[in-house]
Homo-oligomer: A and B are copies of this chain.
Amino acid sequence: MPDNSDAPLFKKGAKLTNGYFTGDAYLLPLLARDKNNDFVIGNVSFETGARTNWHTHPKGQVLIVNEGVGFYQEKGKPAQSIKKGDVINIPENVEHWHGAAATSQMAHIAITNFLGDTNVVWLKPVSEEEYNTVNKQ
C-alpha cells in the first residue's frame, strides 16, 4: 500500500488573505473545535519570506514544524531558528511571530487553544527591517 512517503505531510491549503500575514501563506484546516477539543488544529505553509504578523494567544499555541526551516521570535528576544521536527510551546499573552526563513519555505501544524471564544489577537506586521535583521543573525 503506497503511503506517499516522499510527499509533504499535507497538501497546501487555501491562501491566507486575512491581512495578518506578509508574503504567501496557506492554511489547511485539520480539526475544528468541539466538545472534547478546546482548540483548533490547522497546517500553515509559508513560502520563502512569508510570516505572520506579530500576535498573541490568550491560552497559548503549540507548533509542530513538519517542513523546512523558519523562525519563531518573542518580542524583545532573539529569534529562534526552527526546523522540521521541532515543537514550540508558545506561552499565553506573549507577543511573537513565526514564519519561513528568507532562504527556505516552512510548514507547521498549529494547535491553538481557546480562552472563551478567542484564540488569537493580531497586531502589526513584522517589518522588512525586523525580518531582515533576524535572517542576518
Task: Give residues of chain A (16-58) contacting chain B, Cβ–Cβ below 8 Å.
Answer: 30-31, 34, 36-38, 41
| A109 interfacial contact with B, CB 8 Å | yes
| A127 interfacial contact with B, CB 8 Å | no
Residue among A31, A59, A67, A85 with the most chain B CB within 10 A?
A85
Find A104's partner among B3, B30, B69, B91 (CB 8 Å cutoff). B3
Provide the A58-99 mask, 1 if CB < 8 A to any CB of B, else 0: 011010101111000000000001011101010110000000
**Residue in B closest to A92 when the chains form the complex, CB atoms:** B36
**Which residues of A does B touch, CB under 8 Å?**
1-7, 9-11, 30-31, 34, 36-38, 41, 59-60, 62, 64, 66-69, 81, 83-85, 87, 89, 91-92, 101, 103-104, 109, 111, 113
